A and B are shown apart, each in its own frame.
Chain A
Amino acid sequence: MDLHVTALELGKMIKEKKIGVREALDEAYAAIDNGGLNAYTNLCPEFAYTQADAVQRGIDKGELTSPLAGVPMSVKANISTKGIETNCASKMLSGYIPVYDATAVKKLKDAGAVIIGKTNMDEFAMGGSTETSYFGTAKNPWDLKHVPGGSSGGAAAAVISGEGYYALASDTGGSIRQPCSFCSVTGIKPTYGAVSRNGLIAYASSLDQIGPIGRDINDCAEVLKTISGHDSYDATCAKLDFDIGHEVKNLRIGLPRQYFTSALEPEIAKKIYDAAKVFENLGARISEFDFSGDDMTDYTVSAYYIIACAEASSNLSRYDGIKYGYLKEGQGLVESYINTRSEGFGIVVKRRLMLGTFVLSSGFYDAYYKKALNMRNLLRAQWNRIFEEYDVVLGPVAPTTAYRIGENINDPMKMMLGDMYTVAVNMAYLPAAALPCGFDRNGLPIGMQLIGKAFGENTLINAARAFQQATDHHKKFPDADAVKTDRIQYDKGGKNNAI
């Protein structure tokens, strides 16, 4: 079977009985077995084959009509899946088995999704490379010595390599978009409130959002259509009709000048300008603009880290070893808490919890946290003004292509600044799509980002679709033979033994 099909193409093949659901699943597991990417923290073959048989029966009876029915897919390790270990790539939640499905997972299962496993990520989504995963770093299929990005690095690596045909992931400050850029796949970070967060294990609740990663924008659009909508289990979930599929004419596209400075690799800048040319040739109107304030990126990244860490310090206080998760007993309750948290969390998580606690603590709250909230309001107002003049903003996803494993892990500033083009979207509650736009001189993928106004996903999707119809960057795949090394051993239950 040709592995280089999209999820919708595979769904069509299944409907037309050119391939069975079990057979499609066999192919995905074979790709995982041969891949050596460490893209998964755990697999669930028993669950998957049972689900595959049920979905096949549903399709045969005409009860399952979704174009995604029967397509093998993955779920990031921080999104709850009933009966399937959901460990957040952390020792703290290793062995944790949710007793309910996240709303987005339930919607996909109702549509006939076949979950093959949970994808590797940075511990509690804190990182941009998967190097903080308790289960070891996932690898970039384009060059195994490089990171796949993060935090959803496993998801992006899996999708481009046929280890599942689309993925459900999450984005707090770029965690869907940056790995898409590093691995040459397409992803959408939806507007805050467009997709229910029920069942998403919280990192920073006002920034987190679940979204799709796929091989092209049509796959992502179909997944987004399936998972979006109001959910009574998430009070921040918007009650509105989510419409995808309108024509967009005379698109006004803006390029922020401050995104194209010396901080951005020139090869990436060139590919983004090339992409702007493609849009121009398609009839869009392109112009450049300035943010108000030259230091806007520094303000935005600073405010993002303050808010994200503050919310994390609150959200992760629930890990006490009592109701679920890792437990290391001590002499008395407080010592048990300390032992459990000190052994259960990795060092990056600990540092972010300490930073978050610091900015919320007495004497520093006004100086840091309150200023960051003010900054967030300013940022939102600024983006609202930008969208009075433009339909879509085009820019880079990351300042570099995928870096080597170990290159940046000990430099938190480099890791923070790696998010400089993505965090504003989360801070301003906006939607954005990341899509492939070329390769650098080393053959590593380059991605671009389209940012839309709140609940403007239809415009983003149509712009992305027009670009992908005019280009073929998204149709390129890494050489599968080149990555058949260093096999990751999963045990019979699907547990990753790479620790």
Chain B
Amino acid sequence: MKTYTIEQLNSYIERLLSEEEIIHNISVEGEVSGLSFSGKTAFFVLKDSAAQLSCMFYDFRGSEYLPRDGEKVAVTGTPQYSKKYGSLKFSVMSVRPVGRGELYERFLKLKAALSSEGLFDAARKKAIPSSARRFAVVTSPEGAVIHDIITTARRRDPLCDILIYPVRVQGAGADQEIAAAVTALNKYGTGAELIIVARGGGATEDLENFNSETVVRAVAASVLPVVSAVGHETDTTLCDLAADVRAATPTAAAAMVTADIYGAVAAVKAAAERMSRTFRLFISQKHSALYMSAEIMNRLFKNIFTEKRNMVITRAARLKLLSEAFLTDRLNRLSQHKIRLEKSNPLSLLESGYAKLFAKVPIYSAGQLGPGDDLDVYLKDGIAYTKVKEVKRV
């Protein structure tokens, strides 16, 4: 028995496949699973009840339709064998959905009809409250969708009320429930400011209820603004078109209609802090104004005091000068008087050779004297004691 290398064997298989043109450019049908992406290439496994086939779809972005897990599709392409890895992959050239062709046709027809009625017109769209106090959610009360909505709304605004109108979101008759819910919310006062119609993503068939005419008409007729958050961003349902606004996800819908209270709280806190700072500044300004007034008053007082004090000093100096002058004047006058007095001193006459006579009393007249009287003669340098011999009056 001959032994081959792996490369020899794999090359042989590769050649067999490439020569077998009957399996080139063929169409294969199956259900998609294990969808994943790597760069420009999508990888998935096509399954049916008996077998499976690995597929790679190069440059999938050019494709109008992209399959999702669980969907039935028909792929067109060629099986390719990699001799390096010893594996077979179906190289997909194109992919199209299977089994919903008729459904899709119906969808397009209904869309056109409702659109011509103006139900999707931009002019009909109502404004959505961005900080609802209370809003209603039409969805399943179980599962991720309502959980996401509650969590998101609570995280943003813990004060708002959420009213859940439980409905089935898939299966026959679900569309009637959804439409009835929207109608009831409009009919009965619940205080809700708007309605969110929500459903998580799913296979296209699962979203069929949101393409129902009943739902579209109920949503279009709603007086309360409606936010539609149905499926993935890639599938647009008629409910999305009829709603006033479409949210990419239930989480986005919840964020859209609730106020960011915590953001607002932060803003209020920041404003309060700023107010405190401004107040401190305000007070310190008032304080310095007061201080300045006090300072000015102080200075003024000092000035007045100094002025008065200077006045007193000046006046005192003048008074001193005046009193000194007065005193000098008086002294001068006194000394003049003294000179005059000295000049009139009788003793000074003695100096010039005159004599003063005393006979017990000063003698001024000859009549005071008689012969024999003692007469004292005061001269400049002594006293002569004499006796009167004779008195002759002239």
Bound pair (A, B): no
Question: Footprint of A on B, CB under 8 Å?
Answer: none
Question: Footprint of B on A, CB under 8 Å?
Answer: none
